[in-house]
Chain A
Amino acid sequence: MPLLEVEEVSKAFRGLRAVAGASFSVEGQSITALIGPNGAGKTTLFNLVAGVYRPDRGEIRLRGRSIAGLPAHRVCAAGVGRTFQLVKPFAGLSVLDNAIVGALNGERTVSGARARAVAVLERLGLSGKAEVAASHLTLADRRRLEVARALATRPSLLLLDEMMAGLRPTEIDELVGVLRSVQREEGVTILLTEHVMRAVMALADQIVVLHHGEVIARGEPASIVRDPAVLDCYLGEDAAAGEPGA
């Protein structure tokens, strides 16, 4: 059974179809990238999985159990951690305290949560900044903190929303390496939306392409980049413009 199943999910805002009958599944211990042009419905689909919106139709299952329409805190409790593209650090708290808040989701005691938080910060390369106020971090480090906090909740599925936007190429390469090791060593499954194709190609085991709210292609990266429908609607413009992003 796949870890995450999205089945015929639709969502409209005041008659505007944002997601229309989208279906895909995510296997455990893998990295899936959700891509598509601006306005394709990536963020809406992402927020449907994360419990921000309730789908108008369709079903979303995590390990076979429906999570569609659950409030965000219960989606998290069910095993889904998420990051925000517009980062939302607890600015006044230290980096360590940020991670402890996340870790308390799966731990009974603060001391247990602290141990978990320390381990997660180590994994994300933030140990040296544990006592720094989150408001003092660079954008790249704030993105890492987003991952650390979400990972601290012990999710089985980690949702990463546009992690690379606004980062420098060297920062992107570093973060790609960190995410790879996080996936492998924490045994977590990752679903991410991303515009930076270099990061997508380096990370994804599976790519799902969204266009006008519909899934137009899904498969391994190598086959996706040769898919005529994908080239036509999405990669075509990027391929013509050369390496996108950054």
Chain B
Amino acid sequence: MTSDRPADAGDRRRLAPITAFTVAVALLALPLVGSSYLVSVATLALYLAYVGQAWNVMMGFAGQLSLGHSLYVGLGAYVAAGIFVHFGVGPWAGLWLAVAICSAVGAFIGLLAFRLRISGVQLSLLTVAFAELARIGFDHLDWFGGPGGLFLRVADRNHIDLLGFRGPPAMYYYAMLALAAGALGLCAFLLRRRPGYYWRAIREDEIAAQALGIDTFRWKMLAVVLSSAMTAIAGVFFAFYNNSLFPEQIFGFGRSIEIILGPVIGGLGTLFGPVVGAVALVLLGDGTTEILAKAGVELPGARQVVHGLLLLLVTIYLPNGLWPPLARALGVRPRRL
């Protein structure tokens, strides 16, 4: 594509591992040197990178558009928080239950959609409907606190309790970093294996995929279940990080949109798109709010306005997202995924 001189291309190739190493060191050292504000913002960026990666499995890889992924964040959060508040069951056990329930719900929606041959816009609307159903439903579930919210007791913030997932902000940061890195590794692994090839084939042309021996129903189901299970883990994290849950706040349509913004801005269907997109969103969104606050301007909604503008600019000028040009600049082969 680019007409790099050989020497130039060689320099750039050496740039990629150096960049990767620098980023890794910076991420690991961040809580040691950064302010508490920086740690909380970075945690948010990693959280968005993780859920974006999870959503990208379903849409970016397999081509099935979900606009209701807040359903799995919310369900995961409420399940783990509910059994913690009522029965004192810790997050590590709650995690398994949350993943199991979200996988089952994902499988149910997938089964419903793919057996009834619902796809495209109809599938997206179905996912929105289930998320809205949960939002309204949880308002009426007193066991989960209803509209008044479900609250987790906050213990000593300075003492690290890994089993109870209680501790200082840095602990949550490192947990989210591990999750985001794990999701990236898992997706990189899957893309090189049979699932990656089959999902992308289904995304590009389902009829042709069937003619090549792919049981498309089975592989689409796998994408949906994996995506919902991964998102459930983000929900459990959210519950124990945020310590309060409200149906409106967690299941809202805006939440689902927030999940998909990262991968769309970063590059749909690419491995690093969700990561790059999440960083861009948080950097520009929260950066603007912070600068405005420093300047003494209180502008509620500034973050959303910046997100909107970013989405607009990327859609117009970089329809494939921020990652492909960035990849070329770093000397990584811009291979289409």
Contact = CB atoms under 8 A, between A and B. Distances in A.
Interface of A: 50, 71-73, 76-77, 81-82, 84, 88-94, 97, 100-102, 104-105, 110, 113, 133, 149-150, 153
A97 B203 CA distance: 14
Given A77-B213, A92-B200, A84 B208 contact: yes
Contact of A101 (B193, B209, B215, B336): B209
A150 B211 contact: yes
A50 B336 contact: no
B210 A101 contact: no
B156 interface: no
Contacts of B212: 73, 76, 81, 101-102, 105, 149-150, 153
Contact of B211 (A72, A92, A94, A97): A72
B324 to A, nearest CB: 12
Given A84-B208, A93-B200, A101-B197, 15 more contacts: A73-B210, A73-B211, A91-B204, A92-B203, A92-B269, A92-B336, A97-B197, A97-B200, A101-B201, A101-B209, A101-B214, A104-B198, A105-B212, A113-B197, A153-B212
A133 B324 CA distance: 15
B294 to A, nearest CB: 44
B205 interface: yes
Interface string B59-96: 00000000000000000000000000000000000000
The 3 closest A-B CB pairs, nearest first, are A76-B213, A90-B204, A105-B213
Contacts of A72: 207, 210-211
Contact of B216 (A73, A77, A89): A73
A1 to B, nearest CB: 24
Contacts of A149: 208, 212
Contact of A100 (B197, B203, B208, B335): B197
Contacts, number: 79
B115 interface: no
Interface string B35-70: 000000000000000000000000000000000000
Interface string B184-226: 0000000011100110110111011111111110000000000
A130 to B, nearest CB: 12
A133 B208 contact: no
25 contacts: A50-B211, A72-B210, A72-B211, A73-B211, A73-B213, A73-B216, A76-B211, A76-B212, A77-B213, A88-B207, A88-B208, A89-B205, A90-B204, A90-B208, A91-B205, A92-B200, A92-B204, A100-B197, A101-B198, A101-B200, A101-B201, A101-B212, A110-B193, A149-B212, A150-B211
Contacts of A76: 210-213
Contacts of A89: 204-205, 208
A154 to B, nearest CB: 10
B273 to A, nearest CB: 14
A110 B200 contact: no
Interface residues of B, number: 23
A84 B212 CA distance: 12
Nearest to B335: A94
Contacts of B192: 110
B336 A94 contact: yes
Contacts of B200: 90, 92-93, 97, 101
A89 B207 CA distance: 11
A71 B204 contact: no
A88 B213 CA distance: 15
Contacts of B207: 72, 84, 88
Contacts of B208: 84, 88-90, 149
Contacts of A90: 200-201, 204-205, 208-209
A8 B192 CA distance: 45
Contacts of A153: 212-213
A58 B212 CA distance: 25
B209 A82 contact: no
B326 to A, nearest CB: 19
A82 B211 contact: yes
Contacts of A133: 336
A133 B335 CA distance: 10
Nearest to B207: A88
B54 to A, nearest CB: 21
B17 to A, nearest CB: 22
A102 B210 CA distance: 10
Q: Among A89, A102, A133, A153, which residue has the most Cβ atoms of chain B within 10 A?
A: A102
Given A73-B216, A76-B213, A77-B213, A110 B194 contact: yes
Contacts of B193: 110
Contacts of A73: 210-216
A149 B211 CA distance: 10
Contacts of B205: 88-91
A161 B200 CA distance: 24
B83 to A, nearest CB: 41
Nearest to A82: B211
Most buried by B among A77, A81, A101: A101
A121 B203 CA distance: 23
B213 A84 contact: no
Interface in B86-142: none
A71 B217 CA distance: 11
For A88, A100, A150, the residue with the greatest tally of chain B CB atoms inside 10 Å of its CB is A88
